Amino acid sequence: MSEPAVTRVTPIAFLTATRGRGRLHWTDVFSYGYLALGVFLMFGPVIWLALSSFKTASGLLEFPPTLLPLGQIEVAVEGYDEPLPLYQVTLDDGSVQELAQIRRIGIIAQMVDPADPDARIKVPIDRREAVREFRVAWENYTAPLQRFNFLTYLKNSVIVTIVATAVTLLINSMAAYGLAIYEFRGRNAIMLFVIGTLMIPITVILVPVYLVVTELGMINSLWGVILPGAATPTGVFLLRQYMLTIPRDLIEAARMDKASEWAIYWRVVLPLAAPAIAVLAIFSIMWRWNDFLWPLIVLNRSEVYTLQVGLNAFQGELDVQWHYVLAMTVVTLIPVIFVFAFLQRFITTGIASTGMK
Amino acid sequence: MSIVQPRPSLADIAWAPLRLLGALVDYPLRAVQRVAGIGRMPYVFLIPNLGFFGIFVVVPLFVNFAFSLTGGTNLFLSDRVYVGTEQYGFLLDCENFVDSGSCREDRFWRGIFNTFVFVSFQVFFLVLFSLITALILNRDIYGRGFFRAVYFFPVLLSPVVVALVWKWILLRDGILNAFLVSIGLEKILFFVSPQWAMFWAIFVSIWAHMGFYTLILLAGLQAIPPDLYEAAEMDGTKRERVFWRITLPLLWPNMLVVIVLALIKGVQIFDEVFVLTGGGPGTATQFIVQYIYNTGFSNQVQNFGLASAASVVLGVVLFALTLAQLAAVRRKDSTNV
């Protein structure tokens, strides 16, 4: 029921207008309220993490936390090796002075005037307040690159993702081609087998796969992460369904031109199956970049860790260095954000049409 | 008239290495084809995939069962002692199956109990919120693409990242506690209280996976023929009635698929919660997959036999759920023609 064309639009009517339907229903209000809350709940935590990753180690310890990265100003004082943190101190006579803190003993802080380094002043800690400035702690990002194996983790993750995706695409598309194009004995049996094994998760066969990987000498090797998940029934199934739609005449024509079966697969069928292959490629990249349980089991030495395993190791330390953990989490996030920004449409239609993740 | 060679485009140059690779492989495979004949070529194409799949999935599936019948701490099957069903007996030795404390392997039963609690709440609220979100996104709203993306993007985040994002919020001096203090409440130690730890395990996993199920339900909603709604509108049917009489019945097959899929994933919960709570406090958020992981890989004594027996139990549960899923999918395909 659409209302007749409105001749005079009052402000209220304008604000409460909806697309198509008549006036504002309570469900419209509820919808936008729900969506606004959703934006806050979904984006908020990630934005908070990203903002926090730019704070200094001491800035992160503050409670209550500040929204923006504020760092305490530190000043070099003659006679002290390390720069000292600067405070604004209310002295006994009521005057306010900026002093640097040497050390704190209980509730008394020993402070010094940067202009007059020889005289020490004792101040109760509730009389001083940190002097802060807006400061982005880039060192959270640069230090892990130099001091920890972070670059190695990054490299390992990239290798695993790229090689595993290449292997997955190759062997799965070959199998899909075999199953889609040819009539042969045992085809239905193999197809049934593929469908039947779609759902065997790694969690059910952890121990024996570990045994196989050990026998092959691939513990603590990236191959041990790459190969076990390479042949995915899901991938075969997806590609085969797509290849079934390729017209047989094209293949017959190529055979007339004396193309080998491999050439038909590589030069005729693969390019035509590109959309399905793209979907599988995106899924594979996501699976591999985010994979955690299996790498955690196979990789026990820190030089072969992937990003996810490395991050987990860092956050599990007794004395967690959150300023580094947060920065590394942001780095781990970045490729995913890119994939999301550019390929969202592919991914969502892929999921909606296959029901897989 | 001269024949002009078309200039190679950028795409041609980008694909050149792949072309070359294909041409290189072509020579040996041409020879194979000459020997085997076209009739046997499908097997050649299938061998790599089936080989990998056989080595890393099919063989392990049987070996797993063999493992569960052996004892000791050796990894290689030939060094292991046959103990029959002793591992299963150990796992299932309980005076009272409802009380995990009465079982000999109480950690296993804690894991099962925790997984049961987790799955019951997680699947219910996951499907509920996914349904609400899908219904709202299916409406004629402004910025639909944007809002769909908002709910979907956590699906792409790695479980480790998801856990760290929330851990950072829930820490003792985190922003949530700062908020609680600012409105005059006490700080809550979320990872010290078993109830809170379980609550956040459920909350965070819903947060991370909701977008996926929303998407499937949204696809189902969009497949409902619009003429049904138009007819209802023409009859002046109330919105509530339209929902109960048209939307929900027609969406139900999709709902079933989503519920079973969520169950299958929920039973296997590990990554996010492992990083978020480490299974703690105590064993309050230790689930069955973490029991398998701890028993087989992370404890001082690696008890592979026991871990295998536990995974066989998990496998049986998942197999039953998969059968349910196949039935749900078949029902959906037969109704959504």
Task: Look at B257 and A355 and tell me if their CB atoms are within 8 Å.
Answer: yes
- pLDDT value for B142: 81
**A96 lies in some domain:** yes
- pLDDT value for A5: 46
Please state at what angle helix A150-181 crosses helix A307-315, rounded to 10 degrees: 140
User: Which of B26, B44, B60 is a domain's end point?
Assistant: B60
- pLDDT value for A97: 79
Q: Are B55 and A204 in contact (CB under 8 A)?
A: no
- pLDDT value for A123: 81
**What are B6-43's pLDDT values in tens digits?**
676 777 777 888 888 888 888 888 888 888 888 888 88
Pick from B64, B156, B216: CB nearest A207 = B64
Same domain, B248 and B105: yes
Same domain, B22 and B148: no
Instruction: Identify the CA nearest to A286 among candidates B159, B213, B147.
Output: B159
Is the per-residue pLDDT at A228 higher than 70?
yes
β-pair partners for B82: B70
Same domain, A113 and A169: no
Lowest mean pLDDT among A114-128, B131-145, B163-177: A114-128
**For residue A64, cis peptide bond before it (omega within 30 degrees of 0):** yes
**What are A317-349's pLDDT values in tens digits?**
777 788 888 888 998 888 888 877 777 777 776
Phi and psi at residue A258, in whole multiples of 5°? 65, 30
Is the per-residue pLDDT at A12 higher than 70?
no
Is the per-residue pLDDT at B1 higher than 60?
no
**What are A138-160's pLDDT values in tens digits?**
878 888 777 778 888 989 999 99
Is the per-residue pLDDT at A10 higher than 70?
no
Same domain, A41 and A158: no
Q: What per-residue string of b and e applies to B9-23 under the rule 16 or more CB within 10 Å gives b?
A: eeeeeeeeeeeeebe
* Mean per-residue pLDDT of chain A: 82
CB atoms within 10 A of CB A289: 22
* DSSP one-letter code for A231: S
Please state, in angstroms and rounded to a whole number, the distance separating the CA atoms of residues B111 and B267: 11
3-state secondary structure of A75: strand
The number of C-beta contacts closer than 8 angstroms across A and B is 274
Same domain, A207 and A293: yes
Please state, in angstroms and rounded to a whole number, the distance separating the CA atoms of residues A340 and A332: 14
**What are A240-275's pLDDT values in tens digits?**
888 988 888 888 899 898 888 899 999 889 988 888
Same domain, A26 and A83: no
Domain span at A255:
148-354
**What are A157-197's pLDDT values in tens digits?**
999 999 999 999 999 999 999 999 888 888 888 888 877 77
Q: What per-residue string of b and e applies to B138-168 under the rule 16 or more CB within 10 Å gives b?
A: beebeeeeebbbbbbbbbbbbbbbbbbbbbb
Helix (H) or strand (E) holding A96: strand A96-105
**A287 lies in some domain:** yes
**A89 lies in some domain:** yes
Same domain, A109 and A237: no
**A4 lies in some domain:** no
- Listing DSSP states for B162-181 in one string gives HHHHHHHHHSTTSHHHHHHH
User: What is the ipTM score, two decimals?
Assistant: 0.83
**What total number of domains does chain B contain?**
2
**B80 lies in some domain:** no
- pLDDT value for A1: 40
Same domain, A276 and A304: yes
Instruction: Identify the CA nearest to A123 among candidates A104, A139, A108.
Output: A108
**A160 lies in some domain:** yes
- Listing DSSP states for B264-330 in one string gives HHHHT--HHHHHHHTT-STTTT--HHHHHHIIIIISSS--HHHHHHHHHHHHHHHHHHHHHHHHHHH
Same domain, A101 and A176: no
**What are B59-106's pLDDT values in tens digits?**
888 888 888 888 777 777 777 777 777 778 777 777 776 676 777 777
CB atoms within 10 A of CB A124: 12
> pLDDT tier at B197 (50, 70, 90 boundaries)?
very high
Domain span at B138:
86-335
* Mean per-residue pLDDT of chain B: 85
**Residues B224-233: contacts with CB within 8 Å, 24+ apart?**
B224/B250, B224/B251, B233/A1
Please state, in angstroms and rounded to a whole number, the distance separating the CA atoms of residues B23 and B67: 45
Residues of A with CB below 8 A from B48's CB?
A: 170-171, 174-175, 231
Question: Where is pLDDT greater, at B116 or A356?
Answer: B116
**B66 lies in some domain:** no
Sign of CA dihedral B246, B250, B254, B260: positive
Is the per-residue pLDDT at A296 higher than 60?
yes
* Residue A81 C-alpha, separation from nearest chain B C-alpha, in angstroms: 31
3-state secondary structure of A270: helix
* Residue B93 C-alpha, separation from nearest chain A C-alpha, in angstroms: 22
User: What CATH number is attached to the domain comprising B330?
Assistant: 1.10.3720.10
Pick from B51, B173, B275: CB nearest A312 = B275
Same domain, B135 and B215: yes
Pick from A215, A227, A322: CB nearest B52 = A227
Same domain, A79 and A158: no
3-state secondary structure of A198: coil
